[in-house]
A and B are shown apart, each in its own frame.
Chain A
Amino acid sequence: MSEPAIQVEGLHKSYHLDKVMLHVLRGVSFTVPAGQFAAVVGASGSGKSTLLHLIGLLDRPDRGTVSLAGQDISTWPARRRNHARCMEVGFVFQFYHLLGELNVLENVLLPPLVNASTLGWWSARRPARRRAMEIIDRVGLSQRLRHRPKELSGGERQRVAIARAMINRPKVLLADEPTGNLDSATGREIMELLKDCNRRDGQTVLVVTHDVSLADQTDRILHLRDGRLSE
């Protein structure tokens, strides 16, 4: 068995909703080996997205640890976490979250742009642009480089979001309900793209979805129910 790309141990997370404390995750533990395409399935509000945010360094757990490639991320300082969000983890959101002022190419180039210093960008921009073109071509949007998000369909926007997540070749790709806002045909195309990333680039892909039929297309399904995980 290959080394774990994602390792979650006893993860707890709770939120205050008005005056009520919601225990979203209650000691979640699991491991995803490198190169696996896994899915976390659960009902709405079961804590799937919260789990993904904790793995993707977008939030901090109350208790428990998350390790990426064997390293406990809870010990990382802010600078290291920022770097990991940019270079080591790619995130695909349900609502795409593209920047409306930027076109397709610029949205895809955002992570390398964030990673580069002002002077460093002048040397990094050519390879970054080449990689962006290559990946945009791969998601089938090479004809729409200069289009703004508002000029694209939902499926196209999600492809741009996937291209953005993939541009820095992260080892882990996290997708939060990537087809949740799309029709079934487009959803299948998006799943094919994610599979392609997993197969061709060897990326570890973790998808959370409430759609069991979608989860069936992955190598492994994890069920999240009442803040606890079961396989």
Chain B
Amino acid sequence: MYKLFLCLRYLRSRVIAYFAVLGVALCVAMMLIVVSVMNGFLNRVEKAAKGLFGDIVVEATSVHGMGLYDEFIAELRAKVPAVQAASPFILNRCFLQVPGNTAGSQIVQAAGIRLPQRADVTDIARGLCYQQGDSQPTFDPPVRELLDRQEQLIGSLETIIKKLPAGEDTSADALILHSRLENAMLAHLWSKSILQNALSYQDDIRTLQAELDAAYAKSHGEPTAHTEELEKRLDELVQKASYQPPPYHVILGLGIPGFSFRTPEGQTVRLLMAGNRVAISLIPLGQLSAASTLSLNTKMFTVVDDCCTDVASIDSEIVYLPFETLQRLNGMEAQIDPQDPNHVAIPARCNQIHVKVAGADGGEDRLAAVCSQVEAAWRNFYSAHAEQIGADASVLTWRQRQAAIVGPIEKQRTLTVIMFGIISLVSVVLIFVIFYMIVFQKTKDIGVLKAVGASSPGVAGIFLAYGAAVGLVGSILGTIGGYYFVRYINEIQDAIDHWFGFRVWDRDIFMFEKIPNEVQLIPVLLIVAGAIAAGLVGALIPAWRAARMQPVEALRYE
């Protein structure tokens, strides 16, 4: 009992113990911040990879892609029950232009996806702006809904503008910001006016497009007088509406340079929104012909949404197009046999199939097991249809597919945690030095305790309990401090940036908009246990020294 009593009393009354507690608290907070940020960073990289590729990727080994993907998906779902959803995917480099604005031209990647099926495989729906919260997003959302959302965006921008200090700040930065916000407001209003105009044409465009698709289906894709007539009418309607038909709708990544900017407070302001038209040009790399015959395919697209995955490298690079549209532009559509219009000579192709596995959070082993099943299914399917499929494919888990990115980050995390762990050993040394000093100061007390019957293990116990208590109190304070630091790490960075003009986290370097700020329980418990152990280890030698003291020597100590 006296061990606990004296330990608490020494903890309260020895000012020097506060320094030991402070040292431990700082080390714990530092470890917590480093581990949380590094883990958060890795988690986001993993999440981003899964967000883009799903859990398992079946990827064609040739740029021409693989055929019979829908047949394989159907077989896969029938044969591998763990497969929850699967979706074909095409990826190609493209040139993105805003008509009338040559400065806004960008080289980006066009991703051909099927909506809403894609939302079952990845979490694309989560980051959409105009179809926010819609679990069944589409490339053809009702213009009325786009208009409502546009009104909200205008309202948000007005709020940002109202919050600016009117006329007070005349610095160059403030004036530039004012000017950019005014331009953004014009762009918002312009977008609204396009959508208002398109509102009355959308149904007619849809109907005509459906008629055209049916006509092409009837003629096996060959132009006829009827299709030409329909195309002409559709073109006139599109010109009037300034709004493309559904196959030519695009979702932009929110972060493509020049299409949005961030205010100093971190708000994203869009400059190109729903209703605007962009031209997309690409070389049809999927076309099965000699490279010399490849020519640029260019089409106009209407922006219907933008997508924020929170991964800067994805958001600034990718635009999403309807799968069949990109397939056509990329030369991967089905080829009809000229001799027999009812026979498909070469089936339509895709680059990848992204697979969502049910309960994929069950761990890497489970995912690897399902991946093996998918691979086996592919091998069977490919051996049965190799001629029609064309190129073979590799089957990889998202982690294997992204090993080149995730692996180094994992190693970096481990290295950083080890380095900071070594730095945190300073707390052991700190406690050792402070306790060694305390034992010297308390030599007479040790003599008195032994004189009134305290045993050597009992005396050692006081200092060990004292060390553990310093570790515990320090780790509690450090955990609280570290938790709040991590939680408000982005605000702290903004404050540092505001006051000192120094930005630690650069989205261009670290891929993400914000510093990850999730604190996980297991690392916290490990760090707290480590801090208590550090307290015990630091106090071990002083405690041993105290225990060895003879009462007479201790009482005579000057």
Contacts and interface: CB of A to CB of B under 8 A. Distances in A.
Contacts of B2: 110, 113-114
B454 interface: yes
Nearest to A119: B1
Interface residues of B, number: 26
B1 A121 contact: yes
B453 A115 contact: yes
Contact of A82 (B1, B5, B14, B454): B454
A118 B4 CA distance: 8
Contacts of A97: 444, 447-448, 451, 555
B458 interface: yes
A100 B442 CA distance: 10
B452 A110 contact: yes
Interface string B181-212: 00000000000000000000000000000000
A58 B552 contact: yes
Interface residues of A, number: 31
B451 A58 contact: yes
Interface string A86-123: 11000101000111111000000011011111101100
A114 B462 CA distance: 12
Contacts of A219: none
A164 B552 contact: no
A89 to B, nearest CB: 9
Nearest to A87: B453
Contact of A164 (B450, B452, B454): B452
A225 interface: no
A83 B453 contact: yes
A56 interface: yes
B3 to A, nearest CB: 8
Interface in A46-97: 53, 56, 58-59, 78-79, 82-87, 91, 93, 97
B9 interface: yes
B40 to A, nearest CB: 42
A120 B2 CA distance: 12
A97 B10 CA distance: 17
Given A83-B453, A164-B452, A117 B1 contact: yes
Nearest to B14: A101
Nearest to A60: B550
B552 to A, nearest CB: 5
B447 A85 contact: no
Interface of A: 53, 56, 58-59, 78-79, 82-87, 91, 93, 97-102, 110-111, 113-118, 120-121, 164
The 8 closest A-B pairs by CB, nearest first: A86-B453, A121-B1, A85-B453, A58-B551, A113-B2, A111-B452, A59-B552, A97-B448
5 contacts: A82-B455, A91-B452, A101-B13, A110-B2, A120-B1
Interface of B: 1-2, 4-6, 9-10, 13-14, 444-445, 447-456, 458, 550-552, 555
Given A78-B455, A99-B6, A121-B1, 13 more contacts: A85-B450, A85-B451, A91-B452, A97-B444, A97-B555, A99-B445, A100-B445, A110-B452, A111-B452, A111-B453, A115-B453, A116-B1, A118-B4
